[in-house]
Amino acid sequence: MIELTDRQRTAANGEDGGGTALAMHIVTETARLLGAKRLIPVASAHIDGCLYHGDSGVQFAERLVAGGAEVAVPTTLNVGALNLLRPGQDRLDSHKRAMAHRLMAAYEAMGCRPSWTCAPYQTGHRPALGQDVAWGESNAVAFANSVLGARTNRYGDFLDIACAIAGLAPATGLHLPENRRATVRIETALLSDRLKASDAFYPVLGAWLGRTVGETVAVLDGLPSSLTEDRLKAVGAAAAAAGAVGLVHVAGVTPEAPTVDAALGHRRSEEAIRLTPDMLIAERDRLSTAGGDRIDAVALGSPHFSLSEFDGFERALGDRSVTVPTYICTARDTLASLGPRAMRLESQGVTMVVDTCVVVTPILAEIDGVLMTNSGKFAHYTPSNTGYAVLFGSLKDCVETAVAGHAIRDDALWR
C-alpha cells in the first residue's frame, strides 16, 4: 500500500480539481503496479504524449484540460505529428491533422513549453546530476539518466503528463541509487580505434546493446574519453529503440562512471561480454532491410539534429546539392539558431522538418521506396512506420548518397 502525505491525499481527493485528481490517480495506480511505497517530488518533466496516435489520446488530454490541470514543474514537449512552422508538410487527412493539432494545443494549454523536440537536452532542458525528473521519449530518458546523471524511469505516455501535473513520481526503478549500478560489463578492447573514431559505430553499438541487455544497466569499457554528446545520444537512442535501455554507463565519460569499478558499484559484474568486429558487422547489417543501389530518400536527425551535427553535415556536403529528397529533422530552437545557414541548406535541396519527424508522421512521398539514414532509431522504426525499406550508413555515406542519387557505402571502416 502506498503512503501518501496529507497534501498528496488532498490532491488525489479532487480538492485541486478533477484534472489533478485524474493525474494523481494515474501516478498512484502506477506506483501500486510497480510496488512503489511512496511518491517523490520531480524537478522537471518531458512529455511524449503529444504525438497523435488516434483520437483516444486527444480525449484524455482534453479531459485533463477540462479538469483544470496544469503542470507543476518545468515541462518540455516531445514531437507532435505536425510541423507547425510549415503547415501542410505532412500527408495526414483533414481529420487526423485537426486532431493532431488539438492534441498539441491541449498539452500547451496545460503549461508545457512548446519545444516540440525529442532532444530537449540539446535545446536547454538539462536536469542536474542526481535530480529526480519524469521524462518520456525513450532516447531522452537514456540521455537524461546516462549523460546528465539525472534520475528518471521510462515514463510512458499519460504517466509523463500525470507526473508533471502532480509534480510527483513513484519512488522506484532508476530513481533509487541501488538500481543505477551496472551489472553487465561490455569490453570494447578488440575493436579498432579507427572504428571507435567513426560516427557510424555508435548507433550500431547502441542497437547491439539494446538487443542484448534489454533493460539491464551496463557499463561500456574502453571507449574514447573524448566521446561527444552527439555520439552518446546515438548510442542511447538506438539502445532504447532496440531494447528497453534507460541507463547505460560509459567508463571515463558519463558522470556516474568515473571508472568501470565505480559504475559497477565496486562489485563484480554478473556478466562480461567482449565485443568483436564480427558482432558489430552483424548488427550493422541487421539495421538495414534493403541492399542494392536504389535510394528514394535520405533522412537524418533522429534524435533531432544538434547544431554540431549540422556543422558536420555542412562540412560533408560543401557547395554541392542533393539529388534525392533529403530531410533533416531538428528542433525549432535549433533551426532558429542556424539563422541564414538553414536557407542555404534549403537552396542545396535539403528539406528541414521541425516539431516532428519523417518517421512519426507521413511526410515522405507515398511510394514503396528505400530510405537511407545514419540513425539507429530511424533504421529501427522506418520499415514499420513508413513502409520504406531502410539502408543504414555513416553521415558521410548519407551525404555522398544524397548527392550521387544512388547508394554509396564505405565498408572499409568495418573490416
Partner 1 sequence: MAIAGQMLLPGQASGPVLRLEAPISFWGGVDPASGHIVDPRHPQHGASVAGTVLLVPATVGSSSSSSVLLELIAGGQAPAAIALGKTDAILCLGAVVAIAMGWTAPPVVALDAEKQRVFAPGSFVRLTADGVIHTTASAD
213 backbone φψ class: left, alpha, beta (φ>0; ψ -120 to 50) = alpha
Among 4, 22, 110, 205, binds partner 1 (CB under 8 A): 22
Contact map string, positions 158 to 187, toward partner 1, x by CB under 8 A: xxx---------------------------
Whose Cβ is closer to partner 1: residue 33's or residue 343's? 33
Round to whole Å and give the CA distance between 232 and 203.
9
C-alpha cell at 402: 544524397
Among 243, 303, 325, 393, binds partner 1 (CB under 8 A): 243
Quick one: which segment of 130-138, 310-318, 368-376, 405-413 binds partner 1 (CB under 8 A)?
130-138
Interface with partner 1, residue 203, by CB under 8 A:
no
Round to whole Å and give the CA distance between 305 and 234.
11
Among 94, 225, 226, 384, binds partner 1 (CB under 8 A): 384
Whose Cβ is closer to partner 1: residue 155's or residue 305's? 155
280, HSE (Cβ side, Cα atoms, 13 Å): 23
* Residues between 36 and 55 with contacts to partner 1, criterion CB under 8 A: 48-49, 51, 53-55
Whose Cβ is closer to partner 1: residue 34's or residue 282's? 34
Whose Cβ is closer to partner 1: residue 158's or residue 313's? 158
Interface with partner 1, residue 376, by CB under 8 A:
no
* Smallest separation (angstroms) from partner 1 to the CB of 195: 24
Among 153, 302, 361, 401, binds partner 1 (CB under 8 A): 153
Q: How many residues bind partner 1 (CB under 8 A)?
A: 44
Interface with partner 1, residue 94, by CB under 8 A:
no
Quick one: which segment of 119-127, 299-307, 377-385, 392-400 binds partner 1 (CB under 8 A)?
377-385
C-alpha cell at 5: 502525505
Contact map string, positions 276 to 315, toward partner 1, x by CB under 8 A: -------------x--------------------------
* Environment class of 189 (CB within 10 Å of its CB; exposed 0-12, middle 13-18, buried 19+): exposed
Interface with partner 1, residue 56, by CB under 8 A:
yes
* Smallest separation (angstroms) from partner 1 to the CB of 34: 6
Interface with partner 1, residue 156, by CB under 8 A:
yes
* Smallest separation (angstroms) from partner 1 to the CB of 280: 18
Interface with partner 1, residue 25, by CB under 8 A:
yes
Closest CA to 81 of 306, 387, 329: 329
Interface with partner 1, residue 33, by CB under 8 A:
yes
* Environment class of 239 (CB within 10 Å of its CB; exposed 0-12, middle 13-18, buried 19+): buried
C-alpha cell at 310: 549540422
Interface with partner 1, residue 210, by CB under 8 A:
yes
Q: Are 333 and 358 in contact (CB under 8 A)?
A: no
Interface with partner 1, residue 364, by CB under 8 A:
no
Interface with partner 1, residue 119, by CB under 8 A:
no
Among 19, 57, 80, 369, binds partner 1 (CB under 8 A): 57
Among 8, 30, 115, 254, binds partner 1 (CB under 8 A): 30
* Smallest separation (angstroms) from partner 1 to the CB of 9: 18
Quick one: which segment of 27-35, 184-192, 318-326, 350-358 binds partner 1 (CB under 8 A)?
27-35
Neighbours of 235 (CB within 10 A): 31
| Binding stretches for partner 1 (CB under 8 A) | 22, 25-26, 29-30, 33-35, 48-49, 51, 53-57, 59-60, 63, 136-138, 141, 153-160, 210, 214, 240-244, 289, 380-381, 383-385
